[in-house]
A and B are shown apart, each in its own frame.
Chain A
Amino acid sequence: MNVILYRTESEAAAIDRLMEKSLDSAIELVALPIESCTRSYKKRAENAVVYLDCESAPFARLMELGDKIGEIAPWGIIDRKGRIGDPAALMRRGASDYLGPLMLAKPGAVDEQRLLAIQEYFGIPEIDEEESNRLEYDDTLNSQGLPFPGWNKVKEGKCYPFIFCYAALGNAAKLAQRIGDRKMEKLRSDFAGYLGAWADQKGGRIWIQDPSSSLILFPNEGLQESPTLSAFRMLMDRTIIAYENFRLDIPITFKFAFHAGTAPWKKPGTTGTMVSEHVNFIYHLGVKATDDGSISISGDAFNQIPKNFEDLFIAAQNFEGKQIRKLKSNLN
């Protein structure tokens, strides 16, 4: 993991030295001109935390850059002069870190632990660096992936084409407030179990699960029913499912996001992490751009919408450079 720092040349002398001191020796610092940010951040930001020096650009411009970077990676502000009166406001704007004068004065304050916590806050699961270095993946070089050979024959580390499905309970925060943490935890566990059986039945596999969502992989061909249609069925049946499977006496809903791309295969439960452009995207789409009671589908997965159901989906705002369609009405 490394730190990318964007600053002007005129600030470079002061800020580079300060950053090097406050960074733990195990962390690599890559300092770049802030003028190159929009051109370079996409390539540089993978597996990194990006910092913007607040002396190097007007505040509005920093926020603009932050918005862009924030689509794919965690970013923070370096404020060596303590000019920002309300650092918490930065968090509300999407920043994941703030380094003020006190932190910058502490040698080794920005260490791996801090960076991992920042990534977790941002929503990236922890990376096992050794494992990820062993894997053969490069989303740009191997964009087709190998043909999917069946779940019994997939090989560790090999790249295959998948339909990625993000699934989560809808209105989770309100639900938790209403039923309490203990019951919410049970519901999440029950829902995860239900999704596992659902995915298996539909030809997919639960791949990554965290307390708030599941990432399911489907092969991109050979399925009896399109996963988007299966998800739509689940939304229609939400009342029935809640009552019969979870014994709930309150209404619930779900949300789904779909995307198509490739990913290197690792057995569920042994991955610990998987960070790739496609996996990042599907999480972002699910978390940031999918309404409760709805289904979002990226342009790469439009062909998963069965022809006779196309009219149920409408164009939504583009997200992270991709066309999106969503259900024309939320099922809450």
Chain B
Amino acid sequence: MEKCKSALIRMAKNAIIESIPPDMVERVGKLVFHDYDLHQSSGFPPNIPITGHVAATTVVEDAVKQGRFLPLVEQLAALDRDGYMGRPFKMPGLAELLKAIQAEGYLWDEGSRHFMENPSIRKTPNWGRLLEEEDYQFALLRIDIVNNSLIVKRRGEAQARQAYGELRDRFTRAVEKRFGRVWKWEGDGGLAAFHYGHGGTCASLAGMAFLHELFIFNRSANILGEPLSVRIAAHTGKLCYYSNSAEIIKQETAKEVIELESRKTPADTLCLSQTLARSLDRVLLERFEEKTIERSPVHYYRFRIDGE
């Protein structure tokens, strides 16, 4: 959340003051910030007790300053739902706060108990809330158009660019429909990321959906006069988030998915890494064929209609 309205700040403070003692506020703070010290932050000496009002004001203002207001509210929601060590901490003001945040263009994902930006209002690469240089778990979907240079040579750059642009639009739709974001598109390929819901499943379904779209595209909307082919690979892992995609592709998880696509994925195939495949439900994994390539298992999906 880039700018926090004062009404939201006030609601958060009140919700905390009404329901959470200062010692608990510090525990919540430690979950939101690294090494949070309420006394240090508030300026009170360690031997002086902090009032509920001061604790609430300090932690909320710190969260706003460091762009962690949403993570703070998420921790409050977790406390309200689960309590702490058997102690309940119901927050009567929390429901109103959650509604007010949603009115600012955020959705509350009950599954992950996180906020994310409402895609009908805006779609930003960080879903409106991932922080620079913070580690997160992602599923990545890497796509590459096969024989790009030959196509450009045969059909000309303008036509190729137009066709690739159409593909990019379809790829983006398949990704964003599953709460993913296209982080990078270089003309003949790109990289998408999934963070919400079950990222691996979302990436797999987006990849499958795109291959079906490609089948239709090649027969109906492809202006090149020859079918386009792609390789798609999906993998999961930890990444440090950067808004600059150049910093992302230097990291291990991104390198792994790029290598999976370029070295182990045949044309018109979606290839899942073993890491990702392990997290898929059986009913989806059954659509994939397991192979061993260079001594490691991978999982392939292709759309074929007999005789093709």
Contact = CB atoms under 8 A, between A and B. Distances in A.
Report if A and B associate in a common complex: yes
Interface of A: 229, 233, 236-237, 239-240, 242-244, 248-251, 306, 308-309, 312, 327-329, 331
A229 B213 CA distance: 12
A329 B305 contact: yes
B66 interface: no
A309 B219 contact: yes
Contacts of B284: 239, 243
A312 B287 CA distance: 21
Contact of B220 (A239, A242, A251, A308): A308
Given A328-B306, A329-B305, A331-B305, A243 B205 contact: yes
Given A237-B209, A306-B220, 12 more contacts: A229-B216, A236-B212, A236-B215, A239-B284, A243-B281, A243-B284, A251-B283, A306-B219, A308-B219, A309-B219, A328-B305, A329-B306
A244 B303 contact: no
A294 B34 CA distance: 57
B305 A240 contact: no
B298 interface: no
Contacts of B212: 233, 236-237
A250 B281 CA distance: 10
Interface in B37-66: none
Contacts of A309: 219-220
B96 interface: no
Indicate the size class of the contact surface on chain B. 10 to 19
Nearest to B178: A244
Q: 5 smallest A-B Cβ distances: which pairs? A: A329-B306, A308-B219, A236-B212, A249-B283, A329-B305
Contact of B208 (A240, A248, A306, A327): A240
B153 interface: no
Contact of B205 (A240, A327, A331): A240
A239 B306 CA distance: 18
Given A306-B220, A309-B219, A249 B282 contact: yes
B161 to A, nearest CB: 23
Contacts of A331: 305
Given A243-B283, A248-B283, A250-B283, A327 B209 contact: no
B307 interface: yes
Chain B interface helix/strand/loop/mixed: helix
Interface in B251-308: 281-284, 286-287, 303, 305-307
Contacts of B219: 306, 308-309
Nearest to B305: A329
A331 B307 CA distance: 13
Contacts of B220: 229, 306, 308-309
B291 to A, nearest CB: 20
A308 B305 CA distance: 15
Contact of A240 (B209, B281, B306): B209
Contacts of B305: 312, 327-329, 331
Given A327-B305, A331-B305, A251 B205 contact: no
Contacts of B307: 328-329
Contact of B287 (A233, A239, A249, A250): A239
A25 B303 CA distance: 61
Residue of A243, A251, A312, A331 with most partner-chain B CB within 10 A: A243
A38 to B, nearest CB: 39
B208 A239 contact: yes
Residue of B209, B215, B281, B303 with most partner-chain A CB within 10 A: B209
Nearest to A328: B307
Contacts of A249: 281-283
8 contacts: A237-B209, A239-B208, A242-B283, A243-B283, A306-B219, A312-B305, A328-B307, A329-B307
B215 to A, nearest CB: 7
A244 B286 contact: no
B27 to A, nearest CB: 36
Contacts of A327: 305
Contacts of A250: 283
A332 to B, nearest CB: 12
Contacts of A329: 305-307
B229 to A, nearest CB: 17
A187 to B, nearest CB: 14
A331 B216 CA distance: 16
